[in-house]
Structure 1
Amino acid sequence: MGNTTNAVGSNVTAVNVNHLPGLNTLGISMVRIDYAPWGQNTPHTHPRATEILVVIEGSLLVGFVTSNTDNKLFTKYLEKGDVFVFPEGLIHFQQNVGNGYAVAITALSSQNPGVITIANAVFGSNPDISDDIFARAFQVDKKVIDEIQSKF
């Protein structure tokens, strides 16, 4: 089991071409995700892969958001043995909705799917994106942005 004692309560262990060179040209990689009670795999995207997730243990709330055309949220509660697909490039997430630990295995349709964790990418950039830009984009005070950026 991965160490889930972190701010988001999950641990992602990937096996891709960077970890296993034998995957080169095979177009596949896998991930194990361990979730503490109520932990989550925060909103992220894979720019080069579709993802299929299988719940091995526990209960998860999963979801993805369609593109900017209509930003429709699709969610589903999953139990042990259930499967869900996240389309390539769409922002998606998972959250353990149980009081015990949960485990999922995912397969991705690329040897190097990439991952962009939304909060880390926008609030943890180096150098920081200007709080003026975020204040207008999120329609909040700059102090709120500064507080969020300080966590990344």
Structure 2
Amino acid sequence: MRANAILVTSLLSLAASGTAAPSPRGDKRTELSLTAKLQLADTTADRFALLPENDDFVFDFNQAQPEPGQGGEIVAANRKNFPALVGTGAGMAVGRVGPCGMNTLHVHPRSAELQLVTSGRLITEMVPENGVNDAEGNRRVIRTELGPNMMTPFYIGSVHTQYNPDCEPATFVAALPSEDFGAGQVAQEVFAVSDNVIAATFGQSIAGEDIDKVRGAIPASIALGVEECLTKCGLKKR
């Protein structure tokens, strides 16, 4: 019992000092990230001591996304890239959607989303969970048209998308009640599974030899789309 108590005390001491316990496969020690230290802090006051600079509480959404899509970009603040969010239970994203741009179908596995359009216009669609049907008994798709200062919610785990139908850029701000909301692009996730599973899922509607072609055609997070808009805005297909 005493040996176990000493071990627990040692682990707590290591956590407080910001150093991880030795690996069972060796004696290497790994320095904890600032986010991890903030999560392990005993009190809120201790968290503030780990963020001594006023600039620690500023996140700049003007920064460029490392690998933006073809039709725009999304810059997200979560507890990893903005440690000051630890303890707030919230995150945020700012999206810039170019003419005819689309934020392709995706889900947030750990958070709902409140999306507010700040400029331009966005068409959104959301598919809730199984059992949510329309008056005809078909799966319900909730479609909205948002202009400046208009908002819509996307529920946790719901599949949703946003599309800019105009020739001018649109921007939005998304508030998410999670420090680690995450995102998964539906098409990329579906076509990441094995060929046999894909073929079975689509009822053999996709020939096996074409599966890789479909995988390669899936666009990045924000992609140019919808032929009518491209024609209206004089944009060429890519």
Normalization by structure 1: what TM-score? 0.88
Q: 2:200 matched to 1:132? A: no
Which of structures 1 and 2 has the bigger CA Rg? 2
CA shift at 1:5, angstroms?
6.9
Using the TM superposition, name which of 82-91 and 114-123 deviates more: 114-123
The 5-angstrom pairing of residues 74-89 of structure 1 reads 74-89=142-157
Query: Contact 2:74/2:95 (CA < 8 Å) preserved in 1?
Result: yes
Q: 1:23 to 1:6 in 2, by over 3 A?
A: closer
> Using CA pairs below 8 Å that are at least 6 residues apart, which structure has the higher relative contact order?
1
Q: 2:209 matched to 1:143? A: yes
SS in 1 for 2:187: helix
CA shift at 1:133, angstroms?
1.5
Q: What's the counterpart of residue 51 of structure 1?
A: 113
CA shift at 1:25, angstroms?
1.9
SS in 2 for 1:99: coil
CA shift at 1:66, angstroms?
1.5
Using the TM superposition, name which of 69-78 and 80-89 deviates more: 69-78
The letter of the residue matching 1:144 is: D
The 5-angstrom pairing of residues 27-106 of structure 1 reads 27-69=89-131, 70=133, 71-106=139-174
The letter of the residue matching 2:93 is: V
Indicate the structure with greater helix content.
2
Q: 2:184 matched to 1:120? A: no
Which ranges of structure 1 fall in alignment gaps of 5 or more residues?
none
Tell me the C-alpha RMSD between the 2 structures.
1.9
The letter of the residue matching 1:119 is: A
In 2: Cα distance, 1:47 partner to 1:5 partner: 21
In 1: Cα distance, 2:171 partner to 2:109 partner: 24
SS in 1 for 2:212: helix
Q: Name the % identity.
A: 28
In 1: Cα distance, 2:87 partner to 2:102 partner: 31
How many corresponding residue pairs?
147
CA shift at 1:149, angstroms?
1.7
In 2: Cα distance, 1:17 partner to 1:64 partner: 26
Query: Contact 2:128/2:155 (CA < 8 Å) preserved in 1?
Result: no
CA shift at 1:12, angstroms?
0.9
In 2: Cα distance, 1:35 partner to 1:133 partner: 33
The letter of the residue matching 2:105 is: P
Which ranges of structure 2 fall in alignment gaps of 5 or more residues?
1-61, 134-138, 219-238
